[in-house]
Amino acid sequence: DKGHPDICTIFKFHQIYSRKDVSKIREKCKKAELGCKECKKNLANTLVNTLSDLHRKRKELLENPEKIDKILREGRKKASNIAKQTLEEVKRVMGI
């Protein structure tokens, strides 16, 4: 049976997690070249790979608190600069 990716919940997940292959998945689904079972299996594999990468990165960070501190310091510095620029722009617009 031809699929209907525009109303398929599984396809919506593919749009998020399988971005580089989403056009191919859509076409194969519409042409009945990719069945629901295989489509779900492909999505499951993609999710496992994505989550395993996230778990690996989390483990690395937990084992290296200095790296977390560095990331937070850099983020705080960037946020502070953006906030400063925004405040200056607001003051300029308000004539303060």
Domain limits for position 86: 65-96
Mean pLDDT for the stretch of residues 10-34 = 96
Give yes or no: residues 88 and 70 share one domain.
Answer: yes
The pTM of the full predicted model, rounded to 2 decimals, is 0.62
Q: Which helix (H) or strand (E) holds 81?
A: helix 65-94
Report the number of distinct structural domains present in the chain.
2
Give yes or no: residues 7 and 53 share one domain.
Answer: yes
Task: Give the residue carrying structure tokens 């990468």.
Answer: 53
For the stretch 11-22, pLDDT in tens is 999 999 999 999
Q: Rg of the chain over CA atoms, in angstroms?
A: 22
Q: Is the pLDDT of residue 1 over 90?
A: no
Give yes or no: residues 13 and 58 share one domain.
Answer: yes
> Which residue, among 44, 20, 25, has the nearest Cα to 8 in the 3D structure?
25
